[in-house]
Structure 1
Amino acid sequence: MAEALKHLIGPHTARDTADAVARAWGALDSSAFLADILPALDALELMQRGQCIADALHRHLPDDFEAAAAILQDCLPAPERTGLSGWALLSFNQYIAAHGRGHVETALALLKTLTPHFTAEFGIRTFIADEQEKALAIISGWVTDPNHHVRRLASEGTRPRLPWAMRLPRLVQDPAPILPILEALIDDEEDYVRRSVANSLNDIAKDHADLVADFVERHQAGASKNRLWLLKHASRTLVKKGHVKALANFGYEPVSDVTVALDLASDRIPFPGELGFRIHLANTGASTRTVLIDYAIHHQKKDGSLTPKVFKGKSLVLAAGESVTMERRHPLRPITTRVYHTGRHELEILLNGASVARQDFHLDLGGKETA
């Protein structure tokens, strides 16, 4: 997979970039530009390949960033011309982020123009980190842009914990400055944008659980189907962790009149294997109850301690006096993200976020440790 990915940028990308820059700026020595890139490219991985082209851009474009930005702008597609798009623009992101510092207006304007043709969510983060107030003032204006890629850039590029990107520590600590952006886009017509808003709120929830639960509560009244989906998706980490208010926002109130019985098919599981279990629920109360059944596997670590991983179960509506039995088989097989150890593990059942039943089981790896 990694071998295939790196070929998204290759000699063809370098040549396309050289051609586009030469058309925009006749002073480029294309042969020298390519000589800086092609001999090194084969040994590099994807991001390094982009950086190699970005470094060549820095060496061959004018030292003045404003002048260089105008050249790069003329390399992008426009109504009157074709231009670079797709992975060829990764190096533009990298160049702008490295050399546009101190030129926030020009850099962000260029990244805004670039984003419909690739993505600029990584590129804009340097400027948010360096000049947060100034950068966010500019980015906030993008929420009404007619291009949905630009609107999504406003929400996705400002995510405090955007995966694979530099973290934004100030926004991790205090996300209040980006909440107006998310509120402005909460009912965007594009699912692509709304999903980004939900993911940003989910990021924030990892550090400010109550803030996001309150945000969801405020925006539920009169919500459309699309907004309700967004708010639920934004709450997924909180629901998984059993946050009381987040669960209550979606009707999962604490319940004391639903009983839960747990049975294991076997308490000794060979590896690889499956943990089979049955959950019996009974509503002993006089009112209908809405319940969310999740479960956690507490995996044994190398030091013998246990660490839980929550898995989604099922949402049910139980009428007064109603009972139901659920069966589940959980696979225990090699995966790249976990090392398994022989010994005691634990299955825990969660009802509306609260622990209601637990049972131990023994996982046997036959004397081996596996990742």
Structure 2
Amino acid sequence: MRMAQHLQRAHRRFDAPGFTALAIAGLEDLEMKARAMQIASALETTLPADFDRACGVLEAALAPPWPGDRLGSDDPCRDGLEGWALWPVGEFVARRGGHDVPRALQALHAVTQRFSAEFAIRPFIVQAPDTVFATLQRWTSDPSAHVRRLVSEGSRPRLPWGIRLQALVEDPAPTLPLLAALQDDPSEYVRRSVANHLNDIAKDHPDVVVDWVTRHRPGASAARLALLRHASRSLVKAGHPGMLAAWGLGHAFKGRAALRLGATHCRLGEHLPFSLTLASTAKRPQALVVDYAVHHVKADGSRRPKVFKGWTLTLAPGETRVLERRHPLKVVTTRRYHRGRHALDLRLNGQVVAHAEFELEIECIDPPSPAGRAGSRP
């Protein structure tokens, strides 16, 4: 086990056989997160009891930092610990570092340059927000893009698979100066995290993100515009009037819209083809965001819409344009389908302009079991 080898190289008295036995016991029967937690427990048992000393061992066992935006090396863990092996290392720091938060943050600063510490830093934000946010502010100018990304990603209020930062869900103000410092970061890797962070905030405080886009869009570079569009995606899909207006999409469509389904009956696993014909009656070009919603039948017979991204276009005066799409009705772990009469509607700049219905037939198809999932860098 390479992990044990690198730890023993960093600390001659490290109990490599004992660590390996604890780490691999029944490991193949566990999902990925459970594996990481078991290895973290093995680290707790075998690393020095002194937290500072234990962190020193872990840091000495690390591979060289990943350069630039690069994620991984050609031969993971050849020169030291990196990649997925560091998930349990971050967990160890989170478990043991509560009494020495500055030392824990120092260790996570090193870890995130070889994997990620976005999950491990979150307990410290809950426990010692003043200390952590002061550190994150300094890290916004860190030479490493991986560290700068951690500033945004680690403090996201609703980071997928991470503990929810309820205080930031209720009031995102502490993270806004961090995002302002990073939104023009030279790394697209960092900027995408900022966009995802703003999109998180939009779920609870849409007006904050509408105001952000309104203030930061004028004169924005192409890179910042891309960030702002990505940050706006949930509110645009939801047809939020303020966000649509912030992008100049607040006007109702002037013209005729006709929706045609390619089938009135579909089986689960097939595609539903449809087309939308737009005929402008306006005297000026119209900027349009065209999304569509599938109204899925629920177990109780009610229907609930799910909005999907469609097209962004500009329709010339008097222009007629046909848009086509094949929507997959496939089995996914995040949605349970039920037979019955479904519906599809088209939305132009947030307003429903056309509606049609279709029957979904379901054979005996069981959805796949959810696989064990681990943290990754979106």
Instruction: Give, in whole Å, the separation in 2 of the partners of 1:352 and 1:73.
Output: 52
Which residue in 2 is equivalent to 1:73? 59
- Cα 1:280–1:63 change in 2 (3 A) is same
**Could you list the per-position Cα deviations for residues 147-200 of structure 1 after superposition, in whole angstroms to 9, with x for gaps in the alignment?**
111111111111111111111111111111001111101111111111111111
Identify the match of residue 334 of structure 2 among 334, 337, 343: 337
C-alpha displacement at 1:256, in angstroms? Answer: 4.7
Q: Does 1:172 align with 2:169?
A: yes
Q: Does 1:157 align with 2:115?
A: no
Which residue in 2 is equivalent to 1:83? 80
Instruction: Give, in whole Å, the separation in 2 of the partners of 1:284 and 1:105.
Output: 63
Contact 1:339–1:369 (8 Å) recurs in 2: no
Identify the match of residue 308 of structure 1 among 305, 309, 316: 305
- Cα 1:57–1:263 change in 2 (3 A) is closer
Instruction: Give, in whole Å, the separation in 1 of the partners of 2:44 and 2:322.
Output: 65
Identify the match of residue 348 of structure 2 among 335, 347, 351: 351
Contact 2:266–2:358 (8 Å) recurs in 1: yes
> SS state of the match for residue 172, structure 1?
helix
For structure 1, the 5+ residue unaligned runs are: 1-11
C-alpha displacement at 1:369, in angstroms? Answer: 7.1
**Further displaced range: 115-124 or 337-346:** 337-346
Provide the alpha-carbon RMSD of the alignment. Answer: 2.1
Look up the equivalent residue of 2:86 and give its one-letter code.
L
C-alpha displacement at 1:120, in angstroms? Answer: 1.0
Q: Does 1:259 align with 2:256?
A: yes
Which residue in 2 is equivalent to 1:221? 218
- Cα 1:103–1:277 change in 2 (3 A) is same
Instruction: Give, in whole Å, the separation in 1 of the partners of 2:141 and 2:23.
Output: 39
Which residue in 2 is equivalent to 1:202? 199
**Could you list the per-position Cα deviations for residues 30-50 of structure 1 after superposition, in whole angstroms to 9, with x for gaps in the alignment?**
333333334443433322232
Instruction: Give, in whole Å, the separation in 2 of the partners of 1:109 and 1:33.
Output: 24
Contact 1:340–1:369 (8 Å) recurs in 2: no
Identity among equivalent positions (%) equals: 47
Which residue in 2 is equivalent to 1:7? none
Structure label with greater radius of gyration: 1
Contact 2:64–2:114 (8 Å) recurs in 1: no
Q: How does 1:1-371 map to 2 (within 5 A)?
A: 12=1, 16-77=2-63, 82-365=79-362, 371=367
C-alpha displacement at 1:70, in angstroms? Answer: 2.4
Instruction: Give, in whole Å, the separation in 2 of the partners of 1:208 and 1:351.
Output: 24
- Cα 1:182–1:35 change in 2 (3 A) is same
- Cα 1:17–1:339 change in 2 (3 A) is closer
**Could you list the per-position Cα deviations for residues 186-228 of structure 1 after superposition, in whole angstroms to 9, with x for gaps in the alignment?**
1111111111111111111111111111111111121110100
Contact 1:341–1:369 (8 Å) recurs in 2: no
C-alpha displacement at 1:270, in angstroms? Answer: 4.1
C-alpha displacement at 1:56, in angstroms? Answer: 2.0
Look up the equivalent residue of 2:3 and give its one-letter code.
T
Instruction: Give, in whole Å, the separation in 1 of the partners of 2:28 and 2:283.
Output: 70
* Larger relative contact order (Cα-Cα within 8 Å, sequence gap ≥ 6): 2
- Cα 1:270–1:82 change in 2 (3 A) is closer
**Could you list the per-position Cα deviations for residues 3-36 of structure 1 after superposition, in whole angstroms to 9, with x for gaps in the alignment?**
xxxxxxxxx2xxx333333333333233333333
Q: TM-score, normalised by structure 2?
A: 0.87
Contact 2:157–2:197 (8 Å) recurs in 1: yes
What is the number of residues matched between the two proteins? 355
